[in-house]
Structure 1
């Protein structure tokens, strides 16, 4: 019986005459997963550090949101483009370019002395991450035998979840022990290991060559950016002001133009035909709704633990683990159960737990509330996310032809990232719109209604999940 230490054939560099050599599967797995871990870690690594960065850079609340959203939006809007360019120019080549861009932008983030510099650097970081995430999976799939591919992809998914779970913890530990700038310096030694490892263990590959729909990418990026911008600035500018209404209307028009473009072009970045699948469409609505509600809540609660409860960044990050780490345990179990009990049961149950957990948290946040009282709600939220992740990923691919798997997965990942960005913007807008402020006395006033809005978003996903076919097709 073979194990993860089995060998994989990889072409040696041309200078060695392209003779065959062998690389252990575990080494190919590390080569593909290490940069991906770095990219997913940076999604939430700043959440525990935001109060410190705010004081150091004299940043506004809107700028705090853009520290997170600049990364997320660049990540989301460029991911599909990166997959297309990797097919044309070489997946490993673009993967390595993504690592280089990500690392240079990390240095720029660490050296930032103004909020504008940090926001710009974070956007470039997100562009690098967009090349890392989809191509790491494609390179890994090509590096392992078909018989070991499911196992390798499962490990890859676990590493991705680990990056998300450990983001607030590692960020908090580094801020407490060194400085917030060290969060970004950490990426440099990781890249110095990752680049030669990828060159050695991963073989260059290409996919179907097609033209990049630049206009489609531009329309999608403009639409999402304007939507987030309008929500972030709605409280300050006034929700009925000409500026806010104009920006949000422009966002709607840009996204409508994007859909029309994708319906008509021969090489769409998001093939609209994929949405003919009921499972695929429902899974994407679920992904958007629950990431909007849950990750917006994580953004606010990570700061609540510091501002109101008085924990240090590391202590706050550590206390999010019952929530953020639970999916790593539950998601594999949900994946096993999906074929037995059906997707619908797991999705509805998971989303119901998440919505209930946010309502429960909003009720707990009274003066004198303790962290111990929050733990059951955190665990409930984490279990609910675990019951949602694997079944929704299965639903994305259940009706797809194999040739569409990469595109379908990338579309779903993009929608999730957009949900994260809009969640941070929307729940923060509710927070301040309802009288919240960044003081121990005023934080709870806005946090409670924000959590209820997050719960409502998750409930929308739950209702939509009821229309999911009960079982995935074999």
Structure 2
């Protein structure tokens, strides 16, 4: 075990940076209309601002954990934090949507360097009886950050413009860097081989899948798009074959998936990542363009979700270890799915906003039942020598789900807008809140009705995805019965993820 007197101080320092990088997964959602208008972009381009970040975040995660084990978690975390902070400044200075997309990709790379190191420090510095609580804090921060992002983004966009959702990362990044230098211990390093073939196959396969799905409607789902998607699936299949035959150190030790709870947790967290990113895009377009709300007001509609997630996550994280694994996450996924279905049904030009506040509160409690318990269940039964690899795969799965959710909702939203005969329409032209206010009521009314229909239909995608989480969680089994065998108990492991 590390000789550090209080591992909680190191964890508190790390979650400052961890919170910031997860915040940037969703903070852009509320700023999309403003970015579209200012940079003269269409909806597909502006969603790439999020997808580029998520894709660059997801692909390297399988190897960045090993970089931390080889060169020290603290060193790699600090390098990633520096990259992320400088890329944030680049984002804020961007003068075109293409420049912003490129800067967001670099941001994602910085985030990928940072994330596995936070779980590595938990695994290697906390004693077994404290690790569940530490993982609960880690999971709670992950869930809270994704929900607070739009609220903070709304305030910043209204205050100074969309650029400030990136400028704000600079001082936070500097503080997080200083705290990490001061409080995070320098842990021992280990030699590792790097599976460069696996890295290349996973990167190529994911890119082809995401690009094909997200750009499909723009290119009318032509032969090139389908070729790209099918090739992506084939390449990911080759990646799995490569991992199964790798006798050295594969990126994904497939033996991990013999543990039923680990395998199901990965499926559930992928569904959660996809659903969260796929929810925010259509919902904030609805609030700002159909309901004529400012970014701040639209973000505050989901404030109860963020607040109640923050309040209940630590409590539920502690309770979850004392009950059968399937109970709390199943309730959480079912509740979250029900609220998103409720959003989809209610998204009309004149529906009651207070109802959204109530549904958001229920969604917040549901989120608290998902993030922290899943993080604990995923690694609870893994053998100690595989605990680090399991943590890396879990992080990667969540991010892959997020980027596929972003791509999927982009394709569906574009298709539903086209089906409503809106063409490039008000959404495609980047008109923010109030963009239709100059139109006479007899013209504005039918357009708003068509817009709300397209946006509400898009919300059925994340609602349906959450049902996958319901099924996966319901199939969890008791910790002692899982196929993984021994539970990871020693506080220091050879982190491979």
Same topology, TM > 0.5: yes
Question: How far 1:408 sits from its partner (Å)?
Answer: 0.9
Tell me if 1:257 matches 2:265. Answer: no
Taking the TM superposition and a 5 Å limit, the aligned residue runs for 1:15-94 are 27-94=9-76
CA pair 467-153 structure 1, distance change in 2 beyond 3 A:
closer
Query: Residue by residue, what CA displacement relative to the aligned partner does 1:219-252 show, whole Å, maximum 9, x if unpaired?
Result: 112111111111111112223x211110111110
CA pair 148-89 structure 1, distance change in 2 beyond 3 A:
same
Query: Residue by residue, what CA displacement relative to the aligned partner does 1:271-306 show, whole Å, maximum 9, x if unpaired?
Result: 111111111111111112233233301222122211
Tell me if 1:391 matches 2:373. Answer: yes
CA pair 144-274 structure 1, distance change in 2 beyond 3 A:
closer
- How far apart are the structure 2 equivalents of 1:33 and 1:463? 31
Show the counterpart of 2:432: none
CA pair 395-25 structure 1, distance change in 2 beyond 3 A:
closer
Show the counterpart of 2:219: 237
Deviates more, 1:380-389 or 1:163-172: 380-389
TM-score by length of 2: 0.85
When the two structures are aligned, how many residues end up with a matched partner? 454
- How far apart are the structure 1 equivalents of 2:319 and 2:183? 34
CA pair 159-340 structure 1, distance change in 2 beyond 3 A:
closer
Mapped contact 1:72–1:421 kept (Cα < 8 A): yes
Tell me if 1:98 matches 2:106. Answer: no
Deviates more, 1:27-36 or 1:368-377: 27-36
- How far apart are the structure 2 equivalents of 1:219 and 1:347? 33
Tell me if 1:444 matches 2:452. Answer: yes
Question: How far 1:151 sits from its partner (Å)?
Answer: 4.4
Taking the TM superposition and a 5 Å limit, the aligned residue runs for 1:7-22 are none
Deviates more, 1:346-355 or 1:326-335: 326-335
TM-score by length of 1: 0.89
CA pair 151-212 structure 1, distance change in 2 beyond 3 A:
same
Taking the TM superposition and a 5 Å limit, the aligned residue runs for 1:37-436 are 37-139=19-121, 142=124, 149-239=131-221, 241-265=222-246, 266-435=248-417
CA pair 106-242 structure 1, distance change in 2 beyond 3 A:
same
CA pair 156-465 structure 1, distance change in 2 beyond 3 A:
closer
Secondary structure of the 1:237 match is coil
Mapped contact 2:27–2:152 kept (Cα < 8 A): yes
Question: How far 1:153 sits from its partner (Å)?
Answer: 4.4
Give the gaps of 5 or more residues in structure 1. 1-7, 11-21
Query: Residue by residue, what CA displacement relative to the aligned partner does 1:102-145 show, whole Å, maximum 9, x if unpaired?
Result: 11111111111111110010010010011111113323555566
- How far apart are the structure 1 equivalents of 2:209 and 2:169? 30
CA RMSD of aligned residues (A): 2.3
Show the counterpart of 1:464: 472
Higher relative contact order (CA 8 A, sep 6+): 2
Question: How far 1:413 sits from its partner (Å)?
Answer: 1.4
Mapped contact 1:338–1:471 kept (Cα < 8 A): no
CA pair 294-187 structure 1, distance change in 2 beyond 3 A:
closer
CA pair 216-294 structure 1, distance change in 2 beyond 3 A:
same
CA pair 472-350 structure 1, distance change in 2 beyond 3 A:
farther
CA pair 471-138 structure 1, distance change in 2 beyond 3 A:
closer
